[in-house]
């Protein structure tokens, strides 16, 4: 540490961390010798393992439970448990755990050992069907929105046989749902499973009645794209804000960040590639069909995506992978950030949810067809989805809104905080014709693009373009819900979407059936209804640039939900028509909706209160002392200059120095005054009961303090001697460097 005028001017821990971070070399990934197909799913109790460990009869019963939703026979559960235990022990597991998705947004697990005392001084390994099927836990220790008080705290986890058990480390994890003693859902999975089931029956019934009587079942698919940031673990540990809130609450923009647009799809930094390779091996062992990896737009930002799967499994796989990412990152000296906006001024992260529905006949209900009948089916599902999104645009926003995603929605790189749908020119044309004349016109097949480049083969054009600004874009054979945040459990928005579309299809079926009963031919009844729907839901279709101010004004004129305050957006969950929809479809009762909304408000307030406290501590303990030190140094210099220079020379020479002293004073006073006010506000908030009112105050009053205090601190960062600044700066955090490696990328 260097001393000047009695003050330390080098914060050694920051420079040590920077040096450590930059002197790392890529960690060699431990890649198996065999091809992926050789070890894919080896840590999952899948069909292959079941064939080895379970009898044919047990397997058939289990398949029927997963497939047809039959209730599991307890004697079968014992046999499954026994086979599962043997498989797990053969693969190194010593413990088992029910694994579930509580309303915290993460996952939960409690490990129990297989070993039990045998009463003779030794032990045996045990795992019964009862332990597999059901366990009890303290529901009041999880967010429950008042459903469980500490004095009546019982909650149950119940095995979900539709998602296979898996091994992580030494633990056999069993996917479960989590419900209260009185039967209310306390997790994301129970409503998700119900919503998948209700969409299955509604879509099947529409298909059977009007398009294909042989359809028995439809499957709801999800293909998620997980965006994330990586930061060096040593630099991360020097940032209390990242450690405690997952985002930087202060930090001046780096002179170079993403302006050159050279990170997106750029060559992957070797340190990161090693991490990705290890991650893919771990993911594939867990049966996650990982497919795509690439650099994202912001420096240090990346994406990983699997091939789409049945939705329940896809949701589990996303949550498993997020945990695995953290573990693998640690091996590579990284921290992975799932926060939607860890760094101000660069792109944030989303989790695009590609959503589609396929019939057991192999038809994707959102794929354009080859003839008029197929296209009528295609338009039926497109229009009903648009109608559901139109009627529930506020609700869908409520299911993706969070304290962290709010920093992303509406910012330049992300979808705006207004839910609309992009269809593309071709589909829009078909939709317009349908609305006008109640007729389905044919769609162009993929046509060629004349590119006039010698030796390059013809390109085929998709029937939709891309629109990065649309929160809910049609992308050829699926909808891409782009507004979902990177840290979210996709089960929540998918539950809302499935339920809304299912409810819409139920109403569609009723309307069309009424028309048929009154003598209208089936085809005409479908066409007429769709045409009428289109007139109503056109307001939600928007192909333009969702980032513009004009769109905001236009969306408000169209009656779309334009609210940007997260606590007020949550009000959508309790609108009477929303309660009616969830109750009618039996996905969530009003009691469950009230509890869920309470949890949303509670988590929102808690996150902001934590950010306020961390910012205040960092301002007072890290920033103000350093700013004062630097100011003293300048004042020392001024005193020394006064001894050296003549009276006539001094004013000119001292003027710039005095200006800096005044600037620092201005920022110090402002930070001091504002943190005092914020502290007082937080004390008042502590006395308030959790709930909507508290969340509204956090949004209206705490957020502005966080912004203005940050502005002053970021200005100080630009003034204070770099050697004294205690926190790793954006330029140090945001570009992964390694020993002997290039500086950028």
Binding site for ligand ADP (CB under 6 A): 221, 223, 225, 292, 305-308, 354, 356, 364, 477-478
Q: In this complex, which beta carbon is closest to ligand ADP, that of residue 186 or of residue 203?
A: 203
Tell me the C-alpha distance between 416 and 403, whole Å: 15
Cβ at position 667, least distance to ligand ADP in Å: 42
Tell me the C-alpha distance between 228 and 740, whole Å: 25
Tell me the C-alpha distance between 29 and 275, whole Å: 7
Cβ at position 305, least distance to Mg ion in Å: 5
Q: Coil, helix or strand for 134?
A: strand
Q: Are 54 and 80 in contact (CB under 8 A)?
A: yes
Q: In this complex, which beta carbon is closest to Mg ion, that of residue 225 or of residue 316?
A: 225
Cβ at position 690, least distance to Mg ion in Å: 37
Q: In this complex, which beta carbon is closest to Mg ion, that of residue 302 or of residue 378?
A: 302
Which of Mg ion, ligand ADP, none sits in contact with 205, Cβ below 5 to 8 A by type? none
Binding span for Mg ion by CB under 5 A among 34-42, 110-118, 219-227, 617-625: 219-227
* Residue number of the CB atom closest to Mg ion: 225
Cβ at position 192, least distance to Mg ion in Å: 23
Cβ at position 303, least distance to Mg ion in Å: 5
Calculate ∠ Cα 525-528-534, nearest 5°.
135
What is the three-state SS of 192-241? Answer: HHHHHHHHHHHHHHHHHHHHCCCCCCEEEEEEEEEEEEEEEHHHHCCCHH
| Helix, strand, coil percentages for the chain (3-state, nearest 5) | 50, 15, 35
Q: In this complex, which beta carbon is closest to ligand ADP, that of residue 307 or of residue 441?
A: 307
Cβ at position 581, least distance to ligand ADP in Å: 24
Ramachandran region, residue 410 (left: φ > 0; alpha: ψ -120 to 50; beta: rest): left
Residue 227 touching Mg ion (CB under 5 A):
no
Distances 670 to 276, 653, 696, 708 between C-alpha atoms, Å:
44, 27, 25, 9
Q: In this complex, which beta carbon is closest to Mg ion, that of residue 355 or of residue 508?
A: 355
Tell me the C-alpha distance between 165 and 159, whole Å: 10
Query: What string marks each residue from 167 to 206 as x (binds Mg ion by CB under 5 A) or -?
Result: ----------------------------------------
Residue 413 touching Mg ion (CB under 5 A):
no
* Residue number of the CB atom closest to ligand ADP: 223
How is 282-325 classified by DSSP, letter by letter?
A: HHHHTT--EEEEEE-SSTTEEEEEE--EEHHHHHHHHHHHHHHH
Among residues 557, 552, 676, 580, the alpha carbon closest in space to that of 624 is found at 676
Tell me the C-alpha distance between 527 and 413, whole Å: 38
How is 621-683 classified by DSSP, letter by letter?
A: IIIHHHHHHHHHHHHHHHHHHHHHS-TTTHHHHHHHHHHHHHHHHHHHHHHHHHHHHHHHHHH
Binding span for Mg ion by CB under 5 A among 152-160, 213-221, 225-233, 658-666: 225-233
Q: In this complex, which beta carbon is closest to Mg ion, that of residue 336 or of residue 443?
A: 336
Cβ at position 40, least distance to ligand ADP in Å: 16
Tell me the C-alpha distance between 268 and 279, whole Å: 14
Tell me the C-alpha distance between 243 and 339, whole Å: 12
Tell me the C-alpha distance between 178 and 489, whole Å: 15
Which of ligand ADP, Mg ion, none sits in contact with 354, Cβ below 5 to 8 A by type? ligand ADP
Which of ligand ADP, Mg ion, none sits in contact with 404, Cβ below 5 to 8 A by type? none
Query: According to CB under 5 A, which residues from 454 to 493 bind Mg ion?
Result: none
Which of Mg ion, ligand ADP, none sits in contact with 308, Cβ below 5 to 8 A by type? ligand ADP
Which of ligand ADP, Mg ion, none sits in contact with 307, Cβ below 5 to 8 A by type? ligand ADP
Cβ at position 296, least distance to Mg ion in Å: 9
Which of ligand ADP, Mg ion, none sits in contact with 364, Cβ below 5 to 8 A by type? ligand ADP
Q: In this complex, which beta carbon is closest to ligand ADP, that of residue 77 or of residue 290?
A: 290
Q: In this complex, which beta carbon is closest to Mg ion, that of residue 225 or of residue 413?
A: 225
Cβ at position 205, least distance to ligand ADP in Å: 21
Which of Mg ion, ligand ADP, none sits in contact with 496, Cβ below 5 to 8 A by type? none
Burial (CB count <10 Å: 0-12, 13-18, 19+), residue 253: middle
8-state DSSP, 172: E
Q: In this complex, which beta carbon is closest to ligand ADP, that of residue 239 or of residue 351?
A: 351
Cβ at position 432, least distance to ligand ADP in Å: 25
How many residues contact Mg ion, by CB under 5 A? 1
Cβ at position 720, least distance to Mg ion in Å: 40
Q: Are 337 and 304 in contact (CB under 8 A)?
A: no
Which of Mg ion, ligand ADP, none sits in contact with 189, Cβ below 5 to 8 A by type? none
Ramachandran region, residue 121 (left: φ > 0; alpha: ψ -120 to 50; beta: rest): left
Cβ at position 309, least distance to ligand ADP in Å: 8
Cβ at position 712, least distance to ligand ADP in Å: 39
Residue 225 touching Mg ion (CB under 5 A):
yes
Total Cβ atoms within 10 A of residue 657: 14
Binding span for Mg ion by CB under 5 A among 87-95, 220-228, 609-617, 724-732: 220-228
Which of Mg ion, ligand ADP, none sits in contact with 478, Cβ below 5 to 8 A by type? ligand ADP
Q: In this complex, which beta carbon is closest to ligand ADP, that of residue 478 or of residue 601?
A: 478
Q: In this complex, which beta carbon is closest to Mg ion, that of residue 14 or of residue 478?
A: 478
Cβ at position 257, least distance to ligand ADP in Å: 22
Q: Which residue has the tokens 């303290």?
A: 138
Calculate ∠ Cα 406-386-412, nearest 5°.
30
Q: In this complex, which beta carbon is closest to ligand ADP, that of residue 96 or of residue 479?
A: 479
Which of Mg ion, ligand ADP, none sits in contact with 477, Cβ below 5 to 8 A by type? ligand ADP
Give me the residues that bind Mg ion (CB under 5 A), please.
225
């Amino acid at each position: 540490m260097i001393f000047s005028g009695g003050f330390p001017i080098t914060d050694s821990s920051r420079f040590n961390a920077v040096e450590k971070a930059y002197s790392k070399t890529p960690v060699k990934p431990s890649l198996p010798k065999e091809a992926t197909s050789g070890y894919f799913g080896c840590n999952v109790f899948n069909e292959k393992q079941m064939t080895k460990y379970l009898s044919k009869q047990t397997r058939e019963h289990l398949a029927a439970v997963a497939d047809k939703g039959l209730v599991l026979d307890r004697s079968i559960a014992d046999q499954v448990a026994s086979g599962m235990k043997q498989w797990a022990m053969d693969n190194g597991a010593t413990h088992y755990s029910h694994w579930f998705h509580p309303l915290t947004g993460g996952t939960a697990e409690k490990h129990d050992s297989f070993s039990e005392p045998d009463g003779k001084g030794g032990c045996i390994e045990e795992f019964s069907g009862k332990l597999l099927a059901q366990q009890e836990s303290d529901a009041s220790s999880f967010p429950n929105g008042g459903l469980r008080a500490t004095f009546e705290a019982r909650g149950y986890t119940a095995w979900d046989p539709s998602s296979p058990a898996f091994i992580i480390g030494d633990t056999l994890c069993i996917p479960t749902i989590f419900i209260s003693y009185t039967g209310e859902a306390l997790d994301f999975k129970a409503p998700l499973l119900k919503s998948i089931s209700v969409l299955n029956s509604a879509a099947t019934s529409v298909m059977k009645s009007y398009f294909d009587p042989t359809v028995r079942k439809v499957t709801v698919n999800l293909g998620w794209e997980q965006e994330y940031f990586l930061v060096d673990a040593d630099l991360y540990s020097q940032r209390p804000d990242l450690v405690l809130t997952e985002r930087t609450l202060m930090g001046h923009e780096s002179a170079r960040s993403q302006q050159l647009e050279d990170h997106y799809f750029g060559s992957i930094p070797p340190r990161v590639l090693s991490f990705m390779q290890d991650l893919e091996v771990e993911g594939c062992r867990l049966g996650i069909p990982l497919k795509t990896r690439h650099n994202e737009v912001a420096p240090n930002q990346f994406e990983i995506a699997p091939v789409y799967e049945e939705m329940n499994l896809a949701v589990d796989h996303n949550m498993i992978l997020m945990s695995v990412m953290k573990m693998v990152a640690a091996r590579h000296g990284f921290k992975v950030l799932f926060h939607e906006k860890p760094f101000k001024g660069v792109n944030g992260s989303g989790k695009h949810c590609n959503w589609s529905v396929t019939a057991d006949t192999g038809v994707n209900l959102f794929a354009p067809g080859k003839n008029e009948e197929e296209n009528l089916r295609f338009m039926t599902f497109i229009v009903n989805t648009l109608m559901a999104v139109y009627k529930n645009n506020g609700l869908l926003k409520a299911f993706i809104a969070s304290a962290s995603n709010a920093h992303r929605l509406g910012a330049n790189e992300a979808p705006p905080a207004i839910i609309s749908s992009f269809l593309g020119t071709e589909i829009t044309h078909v939709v317009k014709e349908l609305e006008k004349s109640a007729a389905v016109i044919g769609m162009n097949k993929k046509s060629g693009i004349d590119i006039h480049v010698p030796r390059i083969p013809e390109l085929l054009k998709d029937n939709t373009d891309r629109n990065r600004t649309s929160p809910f874009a049609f992308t050829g054979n699926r909808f891409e819900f782009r507004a979902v945040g990177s840290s979210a459990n996709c089960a929540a928005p998918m539950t809302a979407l499935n339920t809304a579309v299912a409810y819409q299809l139920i109403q569609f079926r009723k309307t069309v059936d009424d028309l048929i009963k009154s003598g209208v031919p089936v085809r005409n009844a479908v066409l007429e209804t769709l045409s009428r729907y289109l007139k109503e839901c056109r307001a939600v279709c928007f192909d333009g640039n969702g980032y513009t101010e004009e769109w905001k004004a236009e969306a408000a004129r169209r009656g779309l939900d334009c609210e940007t305050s997260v606590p007020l957006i949550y009000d959508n969950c309790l609108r009477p028509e929303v309660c009616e929809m969830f109750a009618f479809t039996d996905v969530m009762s009003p009691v469950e909706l009230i509890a869920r909304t309470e949890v949303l408000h509670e988590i929102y307030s808690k996150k902001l209160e934590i950010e306020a406290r961390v910012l205040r501590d960092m301002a007072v303990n890290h920033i103000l002392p350093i700013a004062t030190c630097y100011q003293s140094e300048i004042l020392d210099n001024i005193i020394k200059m006064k001894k050296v220079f003549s009276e006539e020379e001094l004013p000119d020479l001292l003027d710039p120095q005095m200006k800096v002293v005044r600037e620092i004073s201005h920022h110090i006073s402002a930070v001091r005054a504002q943190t005092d006010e914020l502290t007082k506000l937080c004390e008042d908030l502590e006395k308030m009961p959790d709930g909507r009112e508290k969340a509204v105050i956090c949004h209206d009053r705490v957020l502005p303090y966080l912004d203005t205090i940050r502005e002053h601190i970021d200005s100080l960062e630009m003034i204070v001697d770099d050697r004294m600044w205690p926190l790793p700066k954006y330029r140090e955090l945001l570009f992964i460097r390694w020993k002997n490696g290039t500086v950028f990328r």
